[in-house]
Amino acid sequence: MVNGLMLTLVLGCGIIASLCAITAAWSYLRRGREPETADRLARRWLVATAVFGISALVLRFVWLLLL
């Protein structure tokens, strides 16, 4: 039961981090008329990528401790 839950949490955080990274790249590359706004938005998505990526790593180590 715990293995399934932890697997779901780790994969969920990893997938969300990947989606945030793709969104950051998309928002940075589609600058348009306001490059400063695109840079700020891309930085916010990169912070979200870091948060979810580190969460996935921490959850993986917690999972190993629970085994």
CA distances from 63 to 10, 14, 27, 57, 59 (A): 9, 14, 34, 10, 6
Look at residue 63 in the predicted model and tell me its pLDDT: 93
The predicted pLDDT at position 59 comes to: 95
Q: Which pLDDT does position 67 carry in this prediction? A: 86
CA distance 17 to 46: 9
- pLDDT for res 31: 83
Structure confidence by residue, pLDDT tens digits, 13-65 = 999 999 999 999 999 998 888 889 999 999 999 999 999 999 999 999 999 99
At a CB cut-off of 8 Å and minimum separation 6, what does 6 contact? 59, 62, 63, 66
Domain boundaries, the chain: 11-66
* Torsion sign (Cα): 20, 21, 23, 24: positive
